[in-house]
Amino acid sequence: MSKYYAPRRSQHLRAELTAEIQENHEDDLFDAIIAAAALMARADGRVLEVERDHLLEFLDRQDLLWMRDRDETLAQFESYVHKLHDPDESGAAFSWLRRYRDSRAAALILNVCDEVAGADHNLDPREVQLLRLIRAGLGGAPSRRAH
């Protein structure tokens, strides 16, 4: 494999995501990714530091941290975690994620969910159920994990 493949792939991914972001008004996609991560982190009833770390690592690997700095991203994540205590807010978050159904962003959202769910190396049944619901809401987007 060429040493130039990864940077070109990253540039291509960044261009696609930039187009997706522009289509969905400002940075709604980034917000949806953070909201999905917060939903997953809360699924088993506890939010662990390792889940926060995996969110940041995922965003870094996907070359998405150029959109916001780490502190701002974590503050937004914490805000969603607290907001999602309210069942109405959780329902609103699912509706929001469904806007990305069958889009290029659906797999990205599902992959961040996988990343956060597996961060503690223990898939709780509530996490598995939430992954299934999110996958169904996103149109069965492919995932890195088989559940």
Q: Is residue 30 in some structural domain? A: yes
Q: Per-residue pLDDT for 109 more than 70? A: yes
Average pLDDT score over residue span 120-143: 87
Q: What domain count does the chain have?
A: 1
Cα–Cα distance for residue pair 75/73, rounded to 1 Å = 5
Domain that holds residue 104: 5-137
Q: Is residue 143 in some structural domain? A: no
Q: Give the residue with greater pLDDT, 109 vs 1.
A: 109
Q: What is the pLDDT of residue 9?
A: 58
Q: Are 20 and 105 in contact, with CB atoms under 8 Å apart?
A: yes
Cα–Cα distance for residue pair 57/112, rounded to 1 Å = 10
Q: What is the pLDDT of residue 114?
A: 94
Q: Per-residue pLDDT for 128 more than 70? A: yes
Q: Is residue 146 in some structural domain? A: no
pLDDT one-digit tens code per residue, 53-65: 999 999 999 888 7
